[in-house]
Each structure stands twice: as C-alpha cells, then as structure tokens.
Chain A
Amino acid sequence: MDMIEVKNLTKKFGHFTAVDDVSFQVGKGEIFGLLGPNGAGKTTAIRCLLTLIKPTSGEAKISGIDISKHAGQVRQLCGYVPQDVSVDGEMTGYENLLFYAKLYYVPGSERKRRIQEALEFMQLTDRANGMVKSYSGGMMRRLEIGQVLVNQPRILFLDEPSIGLDPSAKRDIWDYVVRLRDEFETTILLTTHDMLEADELCDRIAIMNRGRIVGTGSPEQLKAGLGGDVVSFTTSAADCSALLRQLGYQLLSRSPDSVYDIVVSNGDREIPRILEELKNHGIVTTSVSLKRATLDDVFLRYAGKRIDESEADWQSTRMTRRTVRRLRK
C-alpha cells in the first residue's frame, strides 16, 4: 500500500493557485522529494497533507486515511519538521523533546526511553540540558528532527531539511534521514530546492514549478530522460541557436553571456564533431566542457529555466509563505 496518495490536489489563495492539480504516490520506506524553486508550492502541498490548511479541491490519503475526514488520526501518524525554526530557544533540549512526547500522547512509562533514543539518534545526549538558544544551527536542526522522532512517526515530512546549514552539517542531516528510513522504515517526504540534496537523498523526485508537478521519476530516470550528456561551449560569435537546431542538436539553454548547453548521447565522442561542424559554419568556440546531466538540467528542460532563475517574484513568494526568513545564520 502507498503511504501517501495524492490525487488532483489544488490549493488556491484568492486568485493565486499555489498548488495546481498535483498527484503523486509515495511507497512505504521511500524517500520522496518535491524539488522546485521557492514559491513553487512545495510547502503549501505538504501543509495540506498535514491537515494544517484545507485543500481547495482534490483528495489525499496518508497510510490509507483520508486527510479531510480524520485529521487527528493523520497527525498522530506523522511528524513535521517545518523549514523555519521549530524548537523553543527558551527551553532546554530535553524539555523540547518532553513537550512533544506529551503532545503526541506518548505514554508516561515510555517517554523517558523514547527521549533518550531520540537524543542518542541525533547525537545530542551531552547537550540535552543546555538551553536551545545556545545551540548551533546544525544542532537545532537535529533537535527539530529529534522532536518528532519521539512520536516514532510512520511518515516524516521534512521541509527543506538542510537549508541554511554548512556543508558538513548538511551531510549529517542526510545521513540521519537515510538511517531513519533504513532502521525504522519511515516513509519520508521532503521538499528541497537543492539539486544535490534531491539527487543524493531521494529515491524518487517530483519536480514542481508554479504549483504543478512537471516530471516524476528517480533521479537516474530523470537524468537519463534527458538523453545523455551536456556539452557547453562559449563563442564570441553572434546568436547561433538557430544554426544549432538546424544541425539537429537539442539545445538546452543559452545564457546571456553566450554559453550554449546542448544535450548529446555520447559526449566525449561527439565533441570533436560538434566543434568541426561549428567551425565549418564559421563559428569560433572559445571554450568547451562536458558534464554529466544534472537534475538542474532536468529542471531546465521541464520548466524552461534554471532552478535559481525561477525563484518566484516577490509578491507570489509573499503570498505563499508569509513567514519571515529564517533567523538562523
């Protein structure tokens, strides 16, 4: 059985459609990622699933339970780590965990053990009695995840789990997420705008842009779907997009500073031929490079631009997420 089933989910705020007819399934023990720029509707989508906001239309089931009919049951099964700070700095780490153990009705006889386990799992045992406001960003993040682990959730929702963390803290979080799945078979739905995170962490990905899912698959499938490697070259000549298309190349993008990205099935063999052809048409290339297709290239194909270019404009970001930017450094 699928742990998460979403059918035609739509959420409108006034005239603005934040989530537009979205459907996907997540199997048990799967790490599923919603990948897209800020304002793509990822957070709104998971808030709908968590029964925090009411969808405008569509339906969804968590572990077979209809979210619109049994909100309480759904919340009891889930754990949610929002993007922003969600542990209380004015309490100790231990108190933050105890608070959630009680909020999730963990029986009194089990609380202590579950809290110890969560602390050990997130490697916070030695700092448990320190005030959270003295924690580093990475420690806070670990405590935020630990906080929902006391409930032993079957499904874990992580909103941008590694945003704002330094590279090593980021790696740590990824390790914890994978271990959660491996050791407890937790189903994990995460949102991210980080290509590397999606690529390394997720079993499957749904690419979201402007509220819609524009492509779904494993990172490998999605990259393979592009049809090969990406060759990018720079030229000082005038616009040669038309020429490239005429020659039968799949042009992925052309940046304003005349960097052309084209997709070819077998990059290292094709480069000499490409350069030869361009030269024959009087185009001088100043540099050329070959890279394996990345999810960024995949996003580009589905959404028509690179992920960091498609950060939604000021207004729609504000409409979808009225929260302040995280205060954490």
Chain B
Amino acid sequence: MIEGLMGGFGNLLDPFNLLILLAGILLGFIGGGIPGISGTMLVIILLPVSYSMEPTAAFLLLTSIYATSVFSGSISAILFRTPGTPEAVATVFDGYPMAQKGEGGKALGVSIFSSATGGVLGTIVLIFLTPLLATFALSFAAPEYFALALMGLTVVASLSAGNLVKGFIGVAFGLFIATIGLDSMTGTPRFTFGSGQMMSGIDFIPVLIGLFAISEVLRQVQKKPRKTSNQKVRTELPSWGLMKRISNVIGRSSLLGIFIGILPGIGATTAAMLSYSEAARWSKKPEEFGTGIPEGVAAPESANNAAAMGAMVPLLSLGIPGSATTAILLGAFILHGIQPGPLMFQTQGSLVYTILMGLLVANLLILVIAKPFISVFSKILRVPYSIIGPLIVLFCIIGTFAVRNSIFDVGVMLLFGVIGYFLENAKFPLAPIVLGVVLGPIAEDQFRRAMQMFNNDFTIFFTRPISLVLLLLALISVVYPLFKKWINHRKAKLRGDKNTIAS
C-alpha cells in the first residue's frame, strides 16, 4: 500500500495534474464562498468539462473542488449569516454570533483549522480503514437510521437556550415542513392544497436561507446605515491555547463526521448538523452553544470536511455513493468507463491512490490558502451595508432559485424570512426548526421503513443493540436538562426558605 501511495504522490507531481489540482482547489474556494454556488453544483457543472480530460486529472479536479468548497461555505456563514454551501448550515449558529461580537477573524481561523484537520483525518481514515468501516456501516438498517436521526433531533433540548417548550415546538414545526409534498413511500399528496408546486415539497435551503439570512437583513435594514462591519476582519489562526481547547471537539466531530459520511445516503450537511448537536450534548456548558463560541464553529466544520471524505469510502470500496455529491462522482467514474467497487484497487490502483493523495494535499492546502483568500474576501466588509445588503439579498435569491429552478422556492424563502424575524423577536430558537427540516425526511422514512420491515413491531428499536444505545442516549439528553432544571429549582427554593427563616 505504501508503494501505491508513493506512486500516487508521484503522479500528483506531474505538472498538468498539479495545475488541475490547484485549479480545483481555487474553484472550490471561490464557489463555496459565494452563496448560491455549492460544491455539488460545481461538480455537476464541470462534469462535462472533465469528460475530455484524462481520468486522473478529471477526478483530481472534481474531488478537490468538493473538498475545499465544503470549507469555504463557512466564510459567508460567519460573516453574513448566509451559508455559502449547504454544508455550512450549522456554522451559522455560532459563527455569526462570533462575528457580531467582533470575533469574526477568530471564527474564520477556527473554521480553517477545523476544516483542514477534519478533512485530513477523514482522508487518512479513507486511506487506511476503507474496508473495515464499510462493513460496519452496512449493518445499519432502517431502525438504526431512525434512532440516529432521533438522537440528532433530541439535542434540541440543549440548543433551546433554556426554553424547552419553544425548542420542541420548533423541532415539531421543522419536521412538519419536511412532510409537505408527495409522500416518498406511498406517493400520497400531503398538505399540498392541490398545487403542483407544493407537491415537490419544501426544500430545506429556502427555509434555511429565509430563516437566517433574510430575517437578518430585515432586521439590519431598520438600523442606522453604517459600514457592514466596524472591525477589520483579520483571520487569526487559532492560538495554541485555543487549539488545545477545541481539539476534543474537533476529534470527536471528525470521527462522527467520517462515520456519518460513510453511511450511504447521509452526507456532509447532515454530518455538520448532527455533530453540532453532539458537541452541544457533550459539552459542559451546552447553553453557550448558539451564543458564539469557537466549539460551535469547530464541531460542524471539522465534521463536514471529514464527512465529505468519509462519503468517498463506500464509493471507492463498494461502488455505493455515500452522499449526493459522491453519487455524481459515481456518474463521473462511469462516464470515464471505470466501475468503482472492490475491484477498483486492483484494476485502477494508481488512479485511486492519486485521488487519495490529491485529497490529502487539498485538505492540507486549506490551511495555507485560506488566510490570503479570506483577506481578499473580507475587503468586501469595508463596503457600506447599503451596497452589501442588497447584494446579500440578491445572492440569497439566486442561491434559492438555483436549487430547483423555482420561483416558488424564492417565495418560500421570503415567507420564512418573515417567520424567522418574528420568531427571533419572540425569543424562539431557530436552530431546532432547521434541525427538524433537515432530519425530518430521514427520520420519518426510516421509521416507516423499519415498521414495514419488521411488521409494525415497535419493539424492534429496542431489541437491536445499536438502535437501543442510540435511543437511550436520545432519552437521556431530553430528560437530563429537565432534571437539572428541577434540581436547580429545588435548590433555589431551599435557599429562599433558609433566608426567610434567618431574617
């Protein structure tokens, strides 16, 4: 294997391949940084272009674009509350508050460091553990997927900043939005009001962009006109102390991200969301998540890059895509006459190793290229909000429109912009809603599939070991905050009684 890797690295040094790799990295940076252009989109668009190239060059281009775009989506998530790519969904939650506190440069630095680390870890795992991990993930069936989704949803308890009722309403609402449209299992229309548009359901991107970006613009427009940011955003790579502080989160999130990426059908976006949930769950101060802490940026950013690499595992080892983008890469392989799968290491060994090394280099280069790239990007912040504001709105509109070529989606985005605005004014947390919309389809589909597979036997979730463990974790995370609250309430009461006796 080492010879293979060395051979792969040697291939990389070929001038044309190197050029293509760098071009891919740059394109990924730019595309991911602009809201409305995502990594998946770029891969699709460049697919025909790559057809005329040698397979090595073609795949270096496509995979490096994907790897770096997963990182650069966080740039505008942090600076403008608009994720540049879907994978940066969860980075908005803590990234933007950090920017508002004047810590934008810090947030960007954390994102760079976490993304690079997550990506490199993911690639290393990809290289060494491909066969092992693939087998484990294949033992995941519907009950486990449902339990996983449920576990992700229950962390809403920690994300709700103390108001559990509002948080759960948000989750229920988000899950409900995900049901609108044609039911995927039976084809029955649900809540479509006879409209053809509604039958294709409500996509999570308009909801997300509306709830966070549009509502923010609606708020900003009412304020005094001023520069977008009174502070210069200078990206600060994390100090040694900060690195140590977030290293636990990064390690955990990367592993989680890799694993989720490997699971067929769940990709980097869900991984980012779930690892944000998990980081909040495992932290000593979950209520700080959402207020702007580095951990809140480190978790999703390391997870999404790790998951992007993890998604390549089933692709390369089994020929099954681990995410939407890898599904397109599968198409690319077939276009070039290559059949991904167990035999690929034998028949196309050199290509595979070159791709793997290329990914490693791409993820490492994030550390190097990000800072200068962002300082160019952040010159934008000097421009007054009266110009930036409309541009942000324009990008939101284009980004929403481009997802499904649908003006309806733009309308959905507006509606949720207004909804998000009022909900935030009434101190409703928005993150649970997004959680519900993103995880809703998985949760419901897998639940019903599990029921069908096991003859409506509810106990199946508890008799299968993995599922049981996940569900117990889910239960604990809902009960624990309630329990803590009750204990604190009792303590306060006891203290109050003592005081009155003393006086």
| Chain A complexes with chain B | no
Q: Give chain B's interface residues, CB within 8 Å of chain A.
A: none
Q: Give chain A's interface residues, CB within 8 Å of chain B.
A: none
